[in-house]
Structure 1
Amino acid sequence: MSHILLTLAPYQVLSYGTLLGTQVFHTFINSILSFKVLERPQFAILQRAVFPAYFGIQSAAPVLLALTYPGSKNPLGVASSLAGVFHPSNRWGVLAPLGTILVTGLVNLVYLLPETNKITALRREQEKKDGKASYEKGSHSEEMTALNKKFGQLHGISSLANLITVIATVAYGINLSSRLV
């Protein structure tokens, strides 16, 4: 039993499970339920607190997965860790999904999240000026309309990036599982 802990395999599986579990739970359960049961301002506060950790996991996990990639048991087979990830035979099943997860996670973490937070702050300021919440029905000031449009664009791109990240994670998992049979 203790010899298995000296291999990369358990760390690979635990890292993958953490990444996929976090993504599925946050994307398909936590966010949806939170939106349904919380008032809009509280939902926004929760999301602002959760997203840095969530996107941080999406950015760090592919690096950890690359470092713990378990190579072939055959000494002439694919190497472990980064050498295995960059092996030509792993270009599409390992490198492409891990690279996609890393890039989309980082785009969300370092660009889309800060930009969305800036627009959210500007919308709160505009709500005070207009005396009306950004999400209320009816017409809005030109400024709020522009801010709502920008927020919608950023949120849409972020959601698409997140969906691509989930798909890439599943694709990587399918490749990883093929090594178990």
Structure 2
Amino acid sequence: MAWMTRFLGLVAFLAFGILFSPETFGSKSDGGYSSTISSFIKLAHLLTFSTAWGAALWVTFIGGIIMFNNLPRHQFGNLQGKMFPAYFSMISICSAISVAAFGYLHPWKTASSIERYQLGFLLSSFAFNLTNLFVFTPMTIEMMKKRHKVEREESIGEEVGWSKNTETAKVNPKLAAMNRKFGMIHGLSSLANIMSFGSLAIHSWYLAGKIQL
């Protein structure tokens, strides 16, 4: 029930903010309804973008490193195998909403060149995450499980923060071949994730230029 409590708390704070926002009290004569709809769409874009940006930052540069340095290697891999599908699903959903909201606020025919570029960056992030979700992540998890099986036969994989894999692969051609394939797939997945993160980073710079503090 802890997640339900957090969710209800989040909804309550969001409802409170919407209720007392200036746009909520706009009148028909001054375009208040239109302004309210626009504010809702801006809020959707901001919340989904910031969620995607924050999650990508944490998983890419903080959480993964901490787990790798403190968990047995097989346990770390199994955890990543459960976490990454959920991670890429969430980022993809957030990116889709963010793209839709930004596209609604800045229709292509009337958008400036900068706004079109920003829409392109958001679409790129969405595409890279979908590629990871449906292509690279399933391939990586499948290869990881096969490699774990071979490593268990060699009594390795429970070390923390370092690996006996390289030394064992020198005398095990099957493991060496798996390492090469896993490295290629994992490298492409990491590249797609970095490209997505970079696209979000560029959009964050754009948003920072729009904020008046």
TM-score (norm 1): 0.83
Aligned to 1:112: 136
Question: Match of 2:149, as an amino acid?
Answer: E
In the other structure, the counterpart of 2:209 is 178
Larger Rg: 2
2:154 matches 1:131: yes
For residues 71-111 of structure 1, the C-alpha deviation after alignment (integer angstroms, 9 at most, x for no partner) is xxxxxxxx616x3599463221x222112101110111101
Structure 1 counterpart of 2:198 = 167
Q: Residues 5 and 44 of structure 1: is their aligned pair in 2 closer, same or farther, counting only changes over 3 Å?
A: farther
Q: Which residue of 2 aligns with 1:91?
A: 116
Q: Shift in Å at residue 164 of structure 1?
A: 1.0
Instruction: Map Cα deviations across residues 22-71 of structure 1 (whole Å, 9 max, x no partner).
Output: 0111111100000011111111121111101111122222211022228x
Instruction: Please give the TM-score of this superposition, normalised by the length of structure 2.
Output: 0.71
What letter is aligned with 2:202? Answer: A
Alignment length (residue pairs): 170
Taking a change above 3 Å as real, the CA distance of residues 176 and 86 of structure 1, as seen in their structure-2 partners, is farther
CA distance in 2, matches of 1:159, 1:69: 27
State the AA in 2 paired with 1:133: I
The verdict on how the C-alpha distance between 1:10 and 1:156 changes in structure 2, with shifts beyond 3 A counting, is: same
Structure 2 vs 1, CA of residues 38 and 86 (structure 1 numbering), >3 Å: closer, same or farther? farther
Does 2:45 match 1:22?
A: no
Question: Is the contact between residue 66 and residue 85 of structure 1 (CA under 8 Å) also seen in structure 2?
Answer: no
Q: How does 1:39-78 map to 2 (within 5 A)?
A: 39-69=72-102
Cα RMSD after superposing both structures: 2.3
162, 173, 176: which is aligned to 1:145? 176
Q: Any stretches of 5+ residues in structure 2 without a counterpart?
A: 1-20, 25-34, 158-162
Matched AA of 2:91: Q
Indicate if the aligned counterparts of 1:86 and 1:95 stay in contact, CA closer than 8 A.
no
Return the alpha-carbon distance in structure 1 between the equivalents of residues 187 and 57 of structure 2: 18
